[in-house]
A and B are shown apart, each in its own frame.
Chain A
Amino acid sequence: MAARTLYDKLWDAHVVRTEDDGTALIYIDRHLIHEVTSPQAFEGLRMANRSPWRADSLLAVPDHNVPTTARAEGITDPVAKLQVQTLEQNCKEFAITEFKMDDIRQGIVHVIGPEQGATLPGMTVVCGDSHTSTHGAFGALAHGIGTSEVEHVMATQCLIQKKMKNMLIAVDGKTPAGVTAKDIVLAIIGKIGTAGGTGYAIEFAGEAIANLSMEGRMTVCNMAIEGGARAGMVAVDQTTIDYVKGRPYAPSGETWHKAEAAWRDLVSDQGAHFDSVVRLDAADIKPQVTWGTSPEMEVAVDANVPNPDTESDEVKANGMRKALAYMGLQAGMPITEIQLDKVFIGSCTNSRIEDMRAAAEVAKGRKVAANIKLAMVVPGSGLVKQQAEAEGLDVIFKAAGFEWREPGCSMCLAMNADRLQAGERCASTSNRNFEGRQGQGGRTHLVSPAMAAAAAIAGHFVDVNEL
Chain B
Amino acid sequence: MQKFTEISGIVAPMDRPNVDTDAIIPKQYLKSIQRSGFGPTAFDDWRYLEPGEPGMDHSLRKLNPDFILNQAPYNQASILLARENFGCGSSREHAVWALDDFGFRAVIAPSFADIFFNNSFKSGMLPIVLDAAIVDQLFKEVAADTGYQLTINLEAQKITKPSGEVIEFDVDAFRKYCLLNGLDDIGLTLKHADDIRAYEKTRKQQAPWLF
Known contacts: A43-B35, A83-B33, A319-B17. The answer to whether A151 contacts B186 by CB under 8 A is yes
| B: number of interface residues (CB 8 Å) | 61
Identify the stretch in A191-199, A365-373, A399-407 within 8 Å (CB) of chain B at 4 or more residues: A191-199
Q: Which of B90, B193, B203, B211 contacts A130 (CB 8 A)?
A: B90
Contact A415 B27 (CB under 8 A): yes
By the criterion CB–CB under 8 Å, are A322 and B114 in contact? no
Inter-chain contact A156/B186, CB cutoff 8 Å: yes
Cβ 8 A contact of B174, one of A23, A147, A149, A250: A23
Interface residues of A in 86-139 (CB under 8 A from B): 86, 120, 122-123, 128-130, 132
> Once the chains bind, are B119 and A195 in contact (CB under 8 Å)?
no
Instruction: State the Cβ distance, B138 to closest chain A Cβ, in Å.
Output: 14
Known: A40-B33, A434-B23. A129 touches B91 (CB 8 A): yes
Q: B189 contacts which of A80, A152, A194 (Cβ < 8 Å)?
A: A152
Contact between chains at A435 and B17 (CB < 8 Å)? no
B92: interface (CB < 8 Å): yes
CA distance A327 to B202 in the complex (A): 55
Q: Which of A27, A77, A436 contacts B22 (CB 8 A)?
A: A436
Interchain CB contact under 8 A, B22 and A435: yes
Select which of A194, A225, A259 is within 8 A of B18 by beta carbon. A194
- Asked whether A315 and B209 contact (CB < 8 A) given A21-B172, A148-B123, A415-B30, the answer is no
A319 contacts B16, C-beta separation under 8 Å = yes
Q: Which of A143, A316, A436: most chain B CB closer than 10 A? A: A436
Interface readout for A23-54 with B: 1 if CB under 8 Å, 0 if not? 10101010000001101100100001010010
A157 touches B196 (CB 8 A): yes
* A158 to B185 Cα, complex, angstroms: 11
Q: How long is the Cα–Cα vector from A108 to B176 in the complex, in angstroms?
A: 37
Are B186 and A440 within 8 A (Cβ)? no
Residues of A in contact, count (CB < 8 Å): 79
Within 418-437 of A, Cβ neighbours of B (below 8 Å) are at: 422, 432, 434-437
A199 to B114, CA, bound (A): 7
B-chain residues with CB within 8 Å of residue A315 when the two chains form the complex: 17, 83-84
How far is A144 from B114 in the complex, measured between Cα atoms in Å?
Answer: 10
**A144→B174 contact, CB < 8 A:** no
Chain B residues contacting A414 (CB-CB under 8 Å) are 27
Closest to A64 in B: B30
User: How distant is A387 from chain B, measured CB to nearest CB, in Å?
Assistant: 26
- Interface status of A307 (Cβ within 8 A of chain B): no
B45, B111, B119, B172: the one within 8 Å of A148 (CB): B119
Contact A147 B27 (CB under 8 A): no
A50–B187 Cα distance when bound, in Å, is 10
Chain B 189-200, CB within 8 Å of chain A: the 1/0 string?
Answer: 110110110011
Q: In the complex the two chains form, is B113's CB within 8 Å of A145's CB? A: no
Q: Which partner residue on chain B sits nearest A36 by CB separation?
A: B30
Least distance between A85 CB and chain B CB atoms (Å): 10
Asked whether A467 is an interface residue with its Cβ less than 8 Å from the other chain, the reply is no
* Inter-chain contact B209/A228, CB cutoff 8 Å: no
A146 touches B115 (CB 8 A): yes
Residue B26 at the chain A interface, CB threshold 8 Å: yes
A39 to B92, CA, bound (A): 12
B60 interface contact, C-beta 8 A = no
Contact, CB under 8 Å: A37 / B91: yes
Chain B 19-58 interface residues, beta-carbon cutoff 8 Å to A? 20, 22-23, 26-28, 30-35, 45, 51, 54-55
A459 to chain B, nearest CB (A): 27
A316 with B27, Cβ < 8 A, contacts A147-B93, A198-B113, A259-B207 known:
no
A198 with B85, Cβ < 8 A, contacts A37-B92, A432-B22, A435-B23 known: yes
- Indicate if B118 sits at the interface (CB-CB under 8 A): yes
Q: In the complex the two chains form, is A415's CB within 8 Å of B118's CB?
A: no
Say which residue of B27, B33, B55, B189 sits within 8 Å of A158 (CB atoms): B189
The reply to whether B93 and A79 form a contact with Cβ atoms under 8 Å apart is: no
B93 touches A37 (CB 8 A): yes
Chain A window 155-167, contacts with chain B (Cβ cutoff 8 Å), 1 for yes, 0 for no = 1111010100000
Q: Is B162 an interface residue (CB 8 A)?
A: no
* Contact of A195 with B85 in the complex, beta carbons under 8 Å: yes
CA distance A434 to B20 in the complex (A): 7
A53 cross-chain contacts in B, Cβ below 8 A: 196
Q: Are B114 and A198 in contact (CB under 8 A)?
A: yes
CA distance A192 to B108 in the complex (A): 23
Docked-complex contact B89 and A434, CB < 8 angstroms: yes
- Chain A residues 55-94 with CB under 8 Å of chain B are 56, 64-65, 77, 79-80, 82-83, 86
CA distance A37 to B29 in the complex (A): 12
Chain A residues near B33 (CB, 8 Å)? 39-40, 43, 82-83, 86
B122 proximal to A (CB < 8 A): yes
Q: B16 CB to closest chain A CB, in angstroms? A: 6
Contact indicator B22/A160 (Cβ below 8 Å): no
For A43, the chain B residues whose CB sits under 8 A away are 33, 35
Q: Which residues of A contact B90 (CB under 8 A)?
A: 129-130, 413, 432
Residue of B18, B113, B185 near A319 (CB, 8 A) is: B18
A436 with B111: in contact, given A29-B210, A79-B32, A146-B93 (CB under 8 Å)? Answer: no
CB proximity to A under 8 Å, residues B87-125: 88-94, 96, 111-115, 118-119, 122-123
Interface string of B134-175 (1 = CB under 8 A from A): 000000000000000000000000000000000000001110
Q: B173: which A residues are within 8 A, CB to CB?
A: 21, 23
With A37-B91, A432-B22 as known contacts, state yes or no: A230 contacts B189, CB within 8 Å: no
Question: 8 Å CB contacts to A: which residues of B52-94?
Answer: 54-55, 83-85, 88-94
5 nearest A-B residue pairs (beta carbon): A148-B122, A146-B93, A146-B119, A251-B209, A39-B33
Q: List 26 A-B contacts (CB under 8 A).
A: A17-B195, A36-B31, A39-B33, A79-B32, A80-B31, A82-B31, A83-B32, A123-B210, A132-B91, A143-B115, A146-B115, A148-B93, A152-B186, A156-B193, A198-B85, A198-B113, A198-B114, A230-B114, A315-B17, A316-B17, A318-B15, A432-B22, A432-B89, A435-B45, A436-B45, A441-B51
Known interface pairs A23-B172, A37-B93; 14 further A-B residue pairs with C-beta atoms within 8 A, sorted by A's residue number: A29-B210, A48-B184, A130-B91, A148-B93, A148-B122, A149-B122, A198-B85, A230-B115, A250-B209, A319-B16, A322-B16, A413-B22, A415-B27, A415-B28
